[in-house]
Structure 1
């Protein structure tokens, strides 16, 4: 059975992670030996499910992410600590009131499904409910700070007003206080580089490598499972059936992914009649080939294999999440000093 190699891990939508070790690898630094990259064999699927939406669906990696409520708690506590720190230096910094979070797992599953009724009203544009959700998750506008305040926030100033600025500034103070006692996640050797724990060159001390975030590993694996499912031969076969179905309605697209990535849908504020007609045909063809159900089942299989391989590191992620939520809850209840 064919196995799929890992190309790269990145905290964006498409990346690849895999199960059997192979000899190719990626260099972690100029003087470091190459680390072996893993691969995953395609998971067995006894029957393709046929859900019509992502509602009620879950994926195994969901257990290693903060819930939207927990994310709000952590963000608000960090913001409060940052604000308190800035106040000690004579600067005002608004506290995040707690925007509604968006589940990363929801974001992977949501685009797979398109109902005919939604397509007929919105085409590929976000629904009113989706627009409100995204707006809420973004929170308020970034505060406008004076140059002096910015140096205290980011830690580019060593001191201000005769007081020592915390290492990394008030932003890092808030973040690190909430993460106090959190387990350090051990990344697989092939994911690590020589400068993983360092901020980008020229960046303020408050910045850190993305890999230092406890959510880096599960997010990368979530993205990787999606990419592997997308490149699975069964998805390719479903795409071929979907493409043939679309041609019957006069539309030439090679895959569902291609139609979702068509930039012309974002060129207008409202869907055109042409967009709506395309989306309706797309919705019907996806149901015909069980596209959403297949992609969901494949991700289930790939994620289970990943969790088995990286159980120890993922348990560290879970411990780190528990510590962050515990610390944040204490801050919000007034039981922790800033």
Structure 2
């Protein structure tokens, strides 16, 4: 199934490290209890997601912490590049907006937003444009080799032949990288780290040793809880009732998660009169069947179960997150 919409923003914020470090906590989380539906008790009637708190949120990396970590990783990249004689200054990443990240955790929920913006983001018109990242094209061929750990020309040739240009057995921690054979690429008398400065920066910040827990561990647990909740019979029943309500309003769509694609709303049409009409019906139907209340109760129950199951790992993850943030604070000055 497609990645739930709630998780897409987080993947963007973590992308630099996720591209260089592998591992998936979701696989571990899925191993136990996948076929059990947890008890949820009484379900509160909810017509808004504002202020909802989820069990895994206590362990999640906040948008501001992600921002500080991204700045620190950029500093590490710049320091590494400087070792090889390259001035490679990266602009600061975009600061977090400060908006409630749960505002659309279960899709559109606010009636006023629906009536004014449809499915478009209320922030879109006011958000500053993100700063342009320095393109690797501004680096020489040698500079790109240092940054990525592979010669760009050789990489293009290998891709054309369907081959891998870089080693596939890269070290998974900085401690391992310091002991493992190097890349064999020498620039200005120094050996380029395996994976280049990009990978070295991620290892130093997110995986200094083999005991480091995947930076996406809590994130993946949240994704697993969401996936289980979507398959839960109580959520499926609420979704069916919502779909029927939408049909009664003249709109054929199977799920709040697919309403835009089901009804053919293109990106530039999310605040059109048609989109606003659909959005208003969407929110009204969610309220009618208590879709938000049911989704919240069920997902919270799955998250609570996963938090209990992985309590020891989550506690260590939280400690390591604080270690990363202390290092980030030092690097960011």
TM over 0.5: yes
Q: Using a 3 Å threshold, how does the CA distance of structure 1 residues 164 and 254 change in structure 2: closer, same or farther?
A: closer
Aligned ranges 1:285-296 → 2 under 5 Å: 285-296=285-296
CA distance in 2, matches of 1:252, 1:167: 52
Partner of 1:155: 149
Q: Using a 3 Å threshold, how does the CA distance of structure 1 residues 330 and 151 change in structure 2: closer, same or farther?
A: same
Partner of 1:60: 55
Count of aligned pairs:
274
CA distance in 1, matches of 2:114, 2:228: 27
More strand by percentage? 1
Aligned ranges 1:162-173 → 2 under 5 Å: 162-173=189-200
CA distance in 2, matches of 1:55, 1:247: 27
Equivalent residue of 2:257, what SS? helix
Equivalent residue of 1:58, what SS? coil
Q: Does 1:143 align with 2:170?
A: no
Task: Pick which of 66-75 and 254-263 moved more.
Answer: 254-263
CA distance in 1, matches of 2:299, 2:236: 15
Q: Does 1:13 align with 2:4?
A: yes
Aligned ranges 1:190-269 → 2 under 5 Å: 213-215=214-216, 217-262=217-262, 264-269=264-269
CA contact (8 A) 1:93 1:143 kept: no
Q: Using a 3 Å threshold, how does the CA distance of structure 1 residues 295 and 176 change in structure 2: closer, same or farther?
A: same
Q: TM-score, normalised by structure 1?
A: 0.71
Partner of 1:82: 77
Q: CA deviation at 1:324?
A: 0.8
Runs of 4+ in structure 1 deviating by more than 4 angstroms, as ranges, are: 130-133, 180-183
Q: TM-score, normalised by structure 2?
A: 0.72
Aligned ranges 1:126-137 → 2 under 5 Å: 126-127=121-122, 129-130=123-124
Deviations 1:47-104 (A, max 9, x none): 222333322112111122221121111111111121122123232322341422489x
Q: CA deviation at 1:185?
A: 5.0
- CA RMSD of superposed structures (Å): 3.1
Unaligned runs of 5+ in 2: 6-29, 152-184
Q: Using a 3 Å threshold, how does the CA distance of structure 1 residues 165 and 263 change in structure 2: closer, same or farther?
A: farther
CA contact (8 A) 1:182 1:324 kept: no
CA distance in 2, matches of 1:252, 1:93: 52
Task: Pick which of 243-252 and 295-304 moved more.
Answer: 243-252
Equivalent of 1:110 in 105, 122, 125: 105
Deviations 1:264-302 (A, max 9, x none): 222435533222211111111111111112111111100
Q: Using a 3 Å threshold, how does the CA distance of structure 1 residues 159 and 106 change in structure 2: closer, same or farther?
A: same
Partner of 1:197: none
Equivalent of 1:71 in 66, 70, 82: 66
Equivalent residue of 1:268, what SS? helix
Q: Does 1:175 align with 2:175?
A: no
CA contact (8 A) 2:118 2:280 kept: yes
